[in-house]
Amino acid sequence: MADLASRISKPSDAPVDDAAAPAAAPAQDNGNGNGAEEVIEDDGIQRGIIETSYDVEVKLADLQADKDSPLYSGVSSFEELGLPKPINDGLLAMNFKKPSKIQERALPLMISDPPTNMIAQSQSGTGKTAAFVLTVLSRVDFSKPQQPQALLLAPSRELARQIQGVIRTVGQFCENLVVEAAIPGAISRETGVRSSVVVGTPGTVMDLIRRRQFDVSQLKVLVIDEADNMLDQQGMGDQCIRVKGYVSGQDCSSATECTDAV
């Protein structure tokens, strides 16, 4: 036991190894205010994470002035396109002052007299929805608020509701504007469709027409949103064709719109 006790030394008596690695240098703030720290090693080289951030501001006016941008337009205002004043007031309330390229090219054709059928194809976010919404509002006779005059087909009830909201917002200054969503559970079987503008899914619209709850005798505009996607889907494409057949005998212009083009 005595030999064992003599071999045990106190911590203070332990020898110090001169070759031991020195403690790391304390971390220093890099002074850029973003909270990142740099560690300075003995060799003088700074190591660590360097965080950098940049704020880039892109204005819509700059994009519309770029001729290579899909938002470019040679028209200075929506008023030059001949839109009614209530529609122009709605656009100004939404801070829309100048049309995009697709709107500049499509609107003169779709609001012309006689109407022109067309297929519009452009990238996402370039204003295709606004283009056919402006067309619909330009052709509706607001003195007949309960007579269906424009039909817009969408592949889903969510998109139909979204388009309905856009029409109401753009047409907020159009008196007697009535917009209904022809989606499952939204149209009363007792009254049927009682609005000048109808936005719905192909299946529900087809059922309403079959049950004679949707009068298509005075339709002026037919819009098929995301037509490329709907025509590719089995069943939905056939429904779109059947709906088109129901209104083909009417004096109705067709604006077929394809989205997400590159």
Nearest residue to 135 (alpha-carbon basis) of 261, 260, 253: 253
Per-residue pLDDT of the chain (262 residues; tens, 9 = 90+): 555 555 555 555 555 455 444 554 455 555 545 445 555 555 556 556 656 565 655 454 555 455 565 555 566 788 888 889 999 999 999 988 888 888 888 888 888 887 778 787 778 888 889 999 999 999 999 999 999 999 999 999 999 999 999 999 999 999 999 999 999 999 998 999 999 999 999 999 999 999 999 999 999 899 999 888 887 887 888 898 888 888 865 555 554 454 443 2
Rounded Cα gap, residues 221 and 229, in angstroms: 20
Domain 103-258 has CATH 3.40.50.300: yes
CB burial class (10 A; 0-12, 13-18, 19+) of residue 186? Answer: middle
Nearest residue to 31 (alpha-carbon basis) of 56, 50, 44, 45: 50
Q: Which residues pair with 257 in a beta bridge?
A: 120
